[in-house]
Each structure stands twice: as structure tokens, then as C-alpha cells.
A and B are shown apart, each in its own frame.
Chain A
């Protein structure tokens, strides 16, 4: 299971990596913004993507829209401070499969990852 973390904050990527490590996922790749992620997804071919919204160069929503042009199936979870309902709807419409609002507990992130992978595996 290859997982791509996209967040401009290294601190936040480390926190997410720790949660993924506790779930037994060890092949974790990182990108610092949407542009960096787009340049890496082809080589990594991730099985799950966790993506922040507010980032420099290319934000998370733009990444999701661009990635979904060519990949309709890889599950994506938006992990962001954007908590308004309108933003959640915007992200879901763009193609994310689940949504986590920062701040989050490790348990919540863990639950959302399991939900997302369970849902997409069942649908496949």
C-alpha cells in the first residue's frame, strides 16, 4: 500500500505519518504542494492520497481536480482547516472520497483512513 501525503507543513506530514505507521503503513511518500504532487504521482502510483487544501504554488483543490482528469479511482482524503460545509461540498464534488478537518485526533484520522480504504475496496 503506497500512500502519498501532500501538505506544505512538514510538522503535519510527520503527524500523519505517525498515524499511518500505527496502522501498519510504511511506504509513505511526501509532497509539499499540489504542483510537487502532480510531478510525483506518475512515478509513485499511490493507493491512497491525503491532501491539504491551503498550500503555495498549487492548492489541494486544484490538485484534486487535475488528478481526477486522469485518475478516477485512487481514493483521496482532504485533510484541512477548511471546515465550512460549502468547502466540504466543493471538495467532494471535485473528487475527494473523505474529509478530515484540522485539528484532528489520531483516532479520527485513523478512522477516516480505514473508512475510505474499506469503502473503495468494497466498491472495486
Chain B
């Protein structure tokens, strides 16, 4: 995958978390994903369409998600409350929206977010496109961005 499609996600998650949560995000070495499961138990998912197509997953361990959502909402929110999924969805929405602005010269739309909770859940993605995992470390714990995207021209040719 073109690194120019990865860098905007790094800049965006750092911007979103520092602006909305006053939380610094340290980025570890991105790598290709193996296996079909998500990195962790809570997934915020966004689809991309237009000149670049695919999906973005913001994946948290349950405890990290709980701490991040508490910072975002200003109070503890149980994972069973609808506000929990709402907050996770809005975070992946802002991260993806900010990243797509970095896709210079490409017109891209993002879907409304979906959120999945549960250990060892699977997000079905394009099988012919590699998923790049961007590991992130914060004071609230570890999390990861999983990016599975390609240019629309490549998708049509496949």
C-alpha cells in the first residue's frame, strides 16, 4: 500500500486525540495484518468510497475504549449503553475524515460509522487488499488503526 495513504491516518489520529481528548498518541511501526480477526475487542468501522475505496477500523481493547470514551464524554460510560458505541463511532469518523483530507487530489466520501463489540470478532474486508495495522500507544492503553484501502482504478481492474 502506498505510504501516502498511511501517513494521513497517523497525523489524523494524533490531531483528533490531542484536540478532543488532550491525549497524546505514540505511533509504533506499521505492519501488514495476518489473520481475519481484528486487533482488539471494540471496533469502530468506516467505509471509504470514491477515488479511494476500502475500510478503516479503529480497534481498542475494552478497557482502553472505556477510558477513551470517558475522556471524550466527560464521564464513565458502560459498554452496554448506546452512548459508548456513539462515542467510538464519532472518533473513527473524525480520524477517517481528517485522513481523507490528506489524500491530495482524490475525491473520497466516508460512510456513517458502525461499531462492533465483542472478543475475537471478525470484520469482513476485501480479501485481495492488504490490511495495514498502525499500532498506537496512549496513556489510556494500546489501540490500533487497521487500514484496508486501494485506489478505485486498481479495484476496478481486479
Chain A, interface size: which category?
A: 20 to 34
Q: Which residues of B contact A54 (CB under 8 A)?
A: 93, 97, 110-112
Whether the Cβ atoms of A81 and B110 lie closer than 8 Å is yes
Whether the Cβ atoms of A80 and B97 lie closer than 8 Å is yes
Among residues 86 to 116 in chain A, which have CB atoms less than 8 Å away from a CB atom of chain B? 86, 102-105
Q: Which residues of B contact A105 (CB under 8 A)?
A: 19
Whether the Cβ atoms of A11 and B101 lie closer than 8 Å is no
The number of chain B residues with a CB under 8 A from chain A is 24
Q: How far is the CB of A85 from chain B (nearest CB, A)?
A: 9
Whether the Cβ atoms of A82 and B97 lie closer than 8 Å is yes
| A12 CB-CB contact with B under 8 Å | yes
In the complex, which of the residues B73, B82, B100, B107 contacts A14, with contact meaning CB atoms closer than 8 Å?
A: B73
Q: How far is the CB of A1 from chain B (nearest CB, A)?
A: 24
| A83 CB-CB contact with B under 8 Å | yes
Say whether, besides A54-B110, A103-B15, A103-B16, A11 and B98 are in contact (CB < 8 Å). Answer: no
Residues of A at under 8 Å CB distance from B? 8-12, 14-15, 18, 54-56, 80-84, 86, 102-105
